């Protein structure tokens, strides 16, 4: 048996009524990646595409669809896909690295992060996004280096997909997959398979393949995580892993989970959810999805590492959103080392303006404790004022689209001012 890599991954959470407050769905994710990797936040408008158009993803080209929905993404700036994001219909997706018995394919195919973006661009509900992802998985497969480095870092993927009404967990092992529908309460995913016996959709050959490999005898109840990985599913929610710690934090706040609660969970360092070290939390996202379709979905992104000293900035989909220039990384066209063969022979400076200022501020916070404390208080006050503003929109149903077009960009400007003071 090949040695398994250390569990370096992320955490994604969802709370549905009655666990979430106010009859809303609350989604949250930390993206844990190599500590020097830049995560950008960008908005891509809806678009029409000609018949037969091709789409270049991170490594491979696939067939484009006629219409793609508007998306807002938080992504490692060297690749095409995204770690997490949302679309104009209130669909949110986050993905995690998972490993199991099935060998991980090193061949270049679709990355899990490509599948996140494709699901968002092509589906207007959570379940349709699941269908988009599994169909693409069947057609093109998953694989390729998930790190901007000549050292290979590859994995299978799990996904948490939510909309205003429900959520789905989709977990994969090569081309095989299982999906679980979440209709109430709380659910989280981390760097392990977690679907056990509640399987609502599955790859048609999921069980037969497990039998052919000798992982399942065909007699006892089929448990996906136990069969396809090395997880003792009886101990999943009691062992000291991040999956278990996330499960505990969600359950601790069950019945009153708000966007602020989700932000607190993502900031939790003791549990390891806010990760530090060689792999760290490089970007975070929280979304509030009201069940009433006349109210807007609100998506908060940091665009900077370590949510404990970052601002969750709100974004709402409206026509003609101001482009998010100060959280968008520079591009290098055909000269990008990711696009050249052999790949990853050098590493350009991908830092966007907010990342640079946040990085300098983090150094200043460490060096001058009093100034650091004061700066932290200011960014916390800025975030709190934005949360209150968003709450007012949701409670009153009053949306000034002229102001909302600049919502995220304006908050970035206010955050930059704090870092420059």
Phi, psi of 366 (to 5 degrees): -70, -40
User: Checking DSSP bridges between strand 39-44 and strand 167-173, what pairing results, if any?
Assistant: unpaired
Selected catalytic residue, list 10, 44, 57, 297: 10
Of 135, 150, 149, 143, which is closest to residue 113 (Cα–Cα)?
A: 143
User: Residues 126, 131, 134, 138: what is their CA dihedral angle, to the nearest 10 degrees?
Assistant: -160
Alpha carbon distance 334, 403 (integer Å) = 37
Is 210 in contact with 173 (CB distance < 8 Å)? no
How many other CB atoms are there within 10 angstroms of residue 309's CB atom? 18
Q: Is 10 a catalytic residue?
A: yes
Alpha carbon distance 313, 416 (integer Å) = 12
Phi-psi category of residue 160: left, alpha or beta, with phi > 0 → left and psi -120 to 50 → alpha:
beta
Phi, psi of 43 (to 5 degrees): -110, 130
Q: How many CA atoms lie within 13 A of 227 on its CB side?
A: 28
Kindly list the catalytic residues.
10
């Amino acid at each position: 048996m090949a040695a398994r890599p250390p569990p370096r991954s992320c955490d994604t959470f969802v709370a549905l009524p009655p666990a979430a407050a106010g009859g809303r769905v609350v989604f949250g994710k930390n993206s844990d990646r190599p500590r020097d990797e830049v995560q950008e936040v960008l908005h891509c408008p809806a678009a029409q595409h000609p018949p037969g158009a091709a789409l270049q993803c991170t490594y491979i080209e696939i067939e484009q669809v006629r219409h793609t929905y508007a998306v807002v993404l938080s992504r490692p700036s060297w690749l095409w896909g995204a770690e997490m994001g949302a679309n104009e219909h209130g669909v949110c997706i986050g993905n995690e690295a998972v490993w199991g018995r099935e060998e991980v394919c090193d061949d270049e195919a679709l990355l899990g992060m490509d599948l996140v973006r494709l699901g968002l661009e092509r589906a207007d509900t959570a379940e349709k996004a699941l269908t988009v992802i599994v169909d693409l998985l069947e057609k093109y497969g998953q694989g390729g280096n998930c790190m901007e480095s000549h050292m290979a870092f590859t994995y299978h993927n799990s996904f948490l997909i939510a909309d205003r009404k429900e959520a789905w967990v989709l977990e994969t092992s090569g081309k095989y997959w299982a999906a679980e529908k979440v209709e109430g309460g709380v659910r989280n995913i981390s760097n392990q398979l977690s679907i056990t016996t509640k399987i609502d959709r599955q790859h048609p050959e999921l069980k037969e393949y497990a039998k052919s490999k000798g992982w399942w005898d065909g007699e006892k109840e089929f448990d996906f995580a136990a069969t396809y990985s090395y997880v003792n599913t009886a101990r999943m929610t009691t062992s000291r892993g991040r999956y278990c710690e996330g499960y505990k934090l969600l359950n601790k706040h069950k019945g009153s989970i708000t966007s602020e609660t989700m932000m607190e969970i993502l900031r939790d360092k003791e549990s390891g959810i806010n990760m530090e070290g060689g792999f760290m939390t490089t970007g975070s996202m929280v979304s509030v999805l009201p069940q009433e379709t006349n109210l807007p979905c609100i998506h908060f992104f940091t665009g900077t590492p370590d949510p404990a000293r970052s601002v969750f900035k709100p974004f709402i989909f409206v026509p003609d959103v101001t482009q998010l220039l100060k959280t968008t990384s520079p591009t290098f066209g055909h000269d990008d080392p990711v696009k050249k063969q052999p790949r990853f022979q050098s590493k350009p400076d991908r830092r966007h303006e907010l990342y640079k200022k946040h990085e300098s501020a983090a150094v200043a916070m460490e060096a001058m404790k009093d100034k650091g404390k004061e700066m932290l208080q200011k960014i916390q006050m800025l975030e709190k004022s934005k949360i209150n503003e968003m709450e007012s929109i949701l409670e009153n149903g009053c949306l000034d689209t002229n102001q909302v077009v600049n919502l995220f960009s304006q908050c970035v400007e206010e955050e930059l001012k704090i870092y420059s003071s």
